[in-house]
Amino acid sequence: MPSPPSVEPTPRASVAEQPLNALSLAQYASLCAELAVFPEKTEGIFWRYGLGADEKRSAVDAAWKERLRHEPAAYDAWQELYRRYHAHWTKQR
């Protein structure tokens, strides 16, 4: 079981220009899993991943969804990571 990936917020300007650089694939999978397991902690989770602003959240989510839609190998990797992180966060609950 992987540990949650470390998260270091990226500067605001770079996220606006390159939203996929805000989070790695592992970080995005962990974020999605953590949000699913802890829906009551949404705001704190987003802030911890450096996604405090709504427009930043939307840009990163849209960019990753688009990439995963067009890259089957990345989508498969995301699914596997998501399953592992979901199990990890569920045990933490």
Q: Do the domain assignments include residue 3?
A: no
Q: Do the domain assignments include residue 70?
A: yes
Q: Do the domain assignments include residue 2?
A: no
Query: What's the gap between Cα 48 and its chain centre?
Result: 11
Per-residue CA distances from 44 to 1, 31, 40, 56, 67 (Å): 23, 11, 9, 15, 26
What span, in angstroms and rounded, lies between the C-alpha atoms of 21 and 17?
9
Residue 17 has pLDDT above 80, yes or no: no
Average of per-residue pLDDT values in the chain: 87
Q: What is the residue range of 37's domain?
A: 22-92
Structure-model confidence comparison of residues 18 and 8, the more confident one: 18
Structure-model confidence comparison of residues 53 and 83, the more confident one: 83
3-state secondary structure of 84: helix
What span, in angstroms and rounded, lies between the C-alpha atoms of 21 and 33?
19
Q: Do the domain assignments include residue 40?
A: yes
pLDDT at res. 4: 65
Q: What is the mean pLDDT of residues 41-52?
A: 94
Residue 13 has pLDDT above 50, yes or no: no
Query: Rounded to two decimals, what is the model's pTM?
Result: 0.81
- Looking at the 3D structure of the chain, how many domains does it have? 1
Q: Do the domain assignments include residue 58?
A: yes
